[in-house]
Structure 1
């Protein structure tokens, strides 16, 4: 995996950042790295994220691709107001499948505008096998508390 994570998935499980996203929390996604122009999420592969063939469900891969790409364009230091985005479009390529222990998703913005940004993301199995990639368009939105 290119640009591998700062933390191993096992370490990230203990030292994760808050996703502030109930769906990702419910799924078990860990926000392992979040800095300017980069986000990385980890998800342990358990039975609940697999399909009938015991491989990771495509919807789980799409969730990771979408989420990590969105987070990659929304980083702000803690002393600045949080940024949020919604997905306008997401084009996904499923490249491989298989068995493993961890999904590692990474995302980077490609072009950031005033109201919209474009990002790319990948999901790797155990940091060794590229399972899926995506490119997306995201719009910044105000968060209503």
Structure 2
């Protein structure tokens, strides 16, 4: 993507804004964000580079995709086309079940807040719709 497209993404056939290789972290981990008006989905296909010593998806990566889903959801909530950046103030995570392969989906939704601070929740599900992890967070407008 060109730098001009990074803050606006592109739209897919469903009308979602798609962000791929939008940040260095996103590019190195290989996830994609699909930003809808009411929520954001972050998709990651698990590869060997994402697994821990137990050969399951590393918990830090699970947290990262939930954090990203919430951040994109907050940006979209604050302004059309995901233009306002938000930073994470806190993120509380609960790990429910391990997952070792396939594509996971982290869904983030804004649950409340105001102009400068938003509250968000996220969950990660496996391809077979098993709940893997949940999170709640507080996000602050950074501009």
Q: TM-score range by the shorter chain?
A: 0.7 to 0.9
The alpha-carbon distance between structure 1 residues 93 and 21, as it changes in their structure 2 partners (threshold 3 A), is: same
Gaps of 5+ in 1: 1-10
Aligned-residue Cα RMSD (Å) equals 2.1
Please tell me whether the aligned partners of residues 16 and 30 of structure 1 are also in contact (alpha carbons under 8 angstroms): no
Structure 2, unaligned runs of 5 or more: 1-11
Question: What is residue 26 of structure 2 aligned with on the other side?
Answer: 24
Residue in structure 2 matched with residue 117 of structure 1 by the alignment:
118
Deviation of 1:74 after TM superposition, in Å, equals 0.8
In the alignment of these two chains, the number of paired residues is 127
1:4-15 to 2 correspondence within 5 Å?
none
Runs of 4+ in 1 over 6 A off after TM superposition: none
- Looking at structure 2, the residues matched to 45 and 87 of structure 1 have their Cα atoms a distance apart, in angstroms, of 24
TM-score of the aligned structures, taking structure 1 as reference length: 0.80
Aligned pairs for 1:7-86 (under 5 A) are 17-19=18-20, 20-31=22-33, 33-75=34-76, 76-78=79-81, 82-86=83-87
Report the secondary structure of 1:56's partner residue: coil
Q: Are the equivalent residues in 2 in contact too, given 1:37–1:73 (CA < 8 A)?
A: no
Deviation at 1:83, TM superposition (A): 0.5
| Residue aligning to 1:138 | 139
For 1:28-72, what per-residue CA distance to the aligned partner results, in whole angstroms no more than 9, with x for missing partners? 0111x2122310010001000000111000000000111101111
The 3 A distance-change label for structure 1 pair 16 and 34 is closer
C-alpha contact 2:47 2:101 (8 A) present in aligned 1? no
The CA deviation at 1:18 is 2.3
Structure-2 change in CA distance of 1:70 and 1:127 (3 Å): farther
- The whole-number CA distance in structure 1 between the counterparts of 2:50 and 2:99 is 13
* Aligned counterparts of 1:133 and 1:64: Cα–Cα separation in 2: 11
Q: TM-score, normalised by structure 2?
A: 0.81
